[in-house]
């Protein structure tokens, strides 16, 4: 089972460095887990990229539509958060204290751990390092 964080998932919807590699990888997956956090982060990132003129309004609309279609088609399984995820995130911050994790990154890792993901797909090098310390595989999308 795999878990995809927002930094990797956006490569599926926007052309950027590593998009082809991520596209090849995700095409081989039957389904993938994401967090409910990812839903919010995808929308926030697309809005930020549109405001900064990195993408057009049409690019944002297309990416949003494709993301929602993948949710509807069941390619992406959304994991909900409960108290156990917050507690696990706190514990993980101590377990990988040498890796400077942000709050939401710790929550992504907690979701993956609780779901027993063996693969953690991310484009964030620090988050990948933490996932490897926790025994998860981290595919590269360079």
Q: What whole-number distance in Å separates Cα of residue 106 and Cα of residue 93?
A: 7
pTM of the predicted model as reported, rounded to 2 decimal places? 0.90
Percent of the chain residues past pLDDT 90, beyond the cut = 84
Q: Does 95 have pLDDT greater than 90?
A: no
Q: Which residues form the domain of 97?
A: 2-133
Looking at residue 4, its pLDDT comes to 97
pLDDT at 142 over 80: no
Which neighbouring-strand residues pair with 35? 79
For range 96-124, the mean pLDDT? 92
pLDDT band, very low/low/confident/very high, at 31 (cuts 50, 70, 90): confident
Number of domains in the chain: 1
pLDDT of residue 25: 93
- Going by the DSSP 8-state scheme, the letter that residue 100 receives in this structure is -
Phi, psi of 137 (to 5 degrees): -80, 145
CB 89 within 8 Å of CB 103: yes
The torsion angle over the Cα atoms of residues 109, 110, 115 and 118, rounded to 10 degrees, is 30
What pLDDT does residue 117 have? Answer: 95
Provide the token pair at 130: 């933490």
Q: What is the pLDDT of residue 94?
A: 85
The answer to whether residue 141 sits within a structural domain is no
CATH number of the domain residue 100 falls in:
3.40.50.1010
Nearest to 40 by CA among 8, 18, 67, 11: 67
Q: Give me the pLDDT at residue 23, please.
A: 92
Q: What is the mean pLDDT of residues 67-88?
A: 94
On whether residue 121 sits in a domain, the answer given is yes
Say whether pLDDT at 100 is over 90: no
| Cβ 134 vs Cβ 113: under 8 Å | yes
- Cα of 73 vs its chain's centroid, Å: 18
> Strands 119-121 and 76-79: what pairing?
unpaired
Asked if residue 142 is part of any domain, the answer here is: no
């Amino acid at each position: 089972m795999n878990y995809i964080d927002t930094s990797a998932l956006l490569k599926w919807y926007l052309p950027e460095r590593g998009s082809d590699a991520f596209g090849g990888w995700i095409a081989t997956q039957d389904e993938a887990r994401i967090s409910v956090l990812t839903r919010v982060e995808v929308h926030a990132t697309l809005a930020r990229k549109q405001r900064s003129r990195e993408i057009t309004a049409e690019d944002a609309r297309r990416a949003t539509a494709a993301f929602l279609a993948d949710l509807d088609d069941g390619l992406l399984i959304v994991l909900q958060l409960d108290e156990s995820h917050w507690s696990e995130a706190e514990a993980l911050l101590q377990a990988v204290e040498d890796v400077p994790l942000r709050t939401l990154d710790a929550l992504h890792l907690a979701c993956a751990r609780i779901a027993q993901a063996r693969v953690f797909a991310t484009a964030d090098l620090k988050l990948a390092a933490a996932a490897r310390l926790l025994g998860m595989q981290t595919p590269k999308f360079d």
